[in-house]
Amino acid sequence: MRRAVYLDYAASSPLHPEVAAAMAICLGPQGPHANPSAGHAEGRRAAEAIEQARASVAGLIGARPESILFTSGATESDNLAILGACRAKANHGGHVVTSRVEHRAVIDAFRQLEREGFQVSWLKPTADGRIDPAQVEAALRPETLLVSVMHGNNETGVMNEVAAIGAICRAREVLLHVDAAQSAGRVPVDVAGWNADLVAFTAHKLGGPKGIGALYVRPLPRPVLQPLQFGGGQEHGLRSGTLATHQAVGFGVACRIAAADLMTEATRVRALREKLWRLLQPAAPLWRNGGGEPSLPGILNVGFAGIEGESLLLDLEGAVCASSGSACNAASAEPSYVLRALGLSDLGCQASLRLSVGRFTAERDVDEAAGAILHALERLRGMAPPGALERVR
C-alpha cells in the first residue's frame, strides 16, 4: 500500500539515507562512541569527527568552523542568540526590534525580554508578508541592542532582504540576529554578505537528524553572549553539555549534501511547487498567502474558500501529509498569527493550508496530492452551508 504523499517539509525533512548511514557508523561498536571531551585516543577520535562536521556545517553558510556552536536545534539557537545577547548588554540599553511574523521561538523569546523590562518594537509586515528594511531603520534608537528578522518565513515562504537590513544594523552598530532555519540548505545563505552577527538554523529541515542545530556567532568582533545553561564549558562556554557525536556527524553530512546541489535542487523544488499551485486552480475560489519573489522554493500556502483547513487535513488523512500552519504552533486552536499579520480574517486563516515540497518529492507525488486535495474539497464544499464560497477572506 502506497504511503501518504508527504508535503510537510517546512515542518521537517525526511532523514537522508546517507545521513542515516553515517550516523549508524557512529552508533556502532567501532564508531567514534567516546565522550568527545575525553582526553584519551577514543575521545580525540570523537572530537575530530565533530570538528569535521562543524566545518561542513560552516561551509553551507559561508562561515568559518570556529564560528559555529552546536545546539539542540533552531529554537535553542534563537533563544541563545536573543536572550544571551540582550542579557549580556542589558546595562547598555533595553530596546530591541523584531517582527510580528517571526517563528514562535523568536516571538516567545522577545516576550520574555519584555517581562524582563526590555522595550520591544514589533514590526508589521507588508501585505505580502515581508519586513521592509526602511521599517527596521525607522525603528532603531540610540539604545537599540539587537534586531531579529527571519530570512524565510516558515508559513508563507516569503524571504526578507536580510542583507539590506544587515547593512543598516552594521552602520548603526546594532546586532543582527537572523533565523535561517527554513532557508539554510534550501537557498544560498551568506552570513558575511548579510552582515549578520548571529544566525540560527537546524539539521532536520535539510535532511539531517532532529535534536541538533547550530548558531553562527560572528568571529570578529565576537558578540558577547550570556549562556543559558552551565556545566562543563563546551562550545566556548556558551552551551555546556556532552555533544552527541552521531547527531553532529549527521548534521555535517546533510550540509554537505545540501551544498553540493543547492541551486539545482532549489530549481527542481520550485518547479514542483508551481506545478502544485497550477493543479489546484480548479478549486477556485482560492488564494495564495504570501507569494511573490523572492521566496523559499518549497512552501505554498493556499487558502480555499468555503472550507476549514483542519477539516480538510482530516479528510486527507492517509492520502496527504500537510499542515494548517506552523508545526510548532499546531497544539493551539488559534488562527495563524502570521496570516493574521498579513491582514487575513480568522475565517481566511482557518481556510488556509501550508503545502511544502522537498528533496524526495517527485512529480507523481504532486499529481497525487493535487488530485486528493481537489477530491476532498469537492466533498467538503458539497456539505458547506449556502453562501460559504462567497465568504472568502
Q: Which residues are known catalytic residues?
A: 328
Determine the Cα–Cα distance for residues 343 and 66; give it in Å rounded to an integer.
Answer: 42
What letters, b where the CB count within 10 A reaches 16 and e where it falls short, cover 271-297? ebbeebbebbeebeebbbbbbeeebbb
| Residues 356 and 11: beta-carbon distance below 8 Å | yes
User: Which of helix, strand or coil describes residue 356?
Assistant: strand
- Cα angle 71, 74, 75; round to 5: 95
| Residues 279 and 367: beta-carbon distance below 8 Å | yes
- Give me the sheet containing 175-179, strands edge to edge: 68-71, 213-217, 198-202, 175-179, 144-148, 95-99, 119-123
Determine the Cα–Cα distance for residues 24 and 32; give it in Å rounded to an integer.
Answer: 11
The total of other beta-carbon atoms located within 10 Å of residue 222's CB is 12
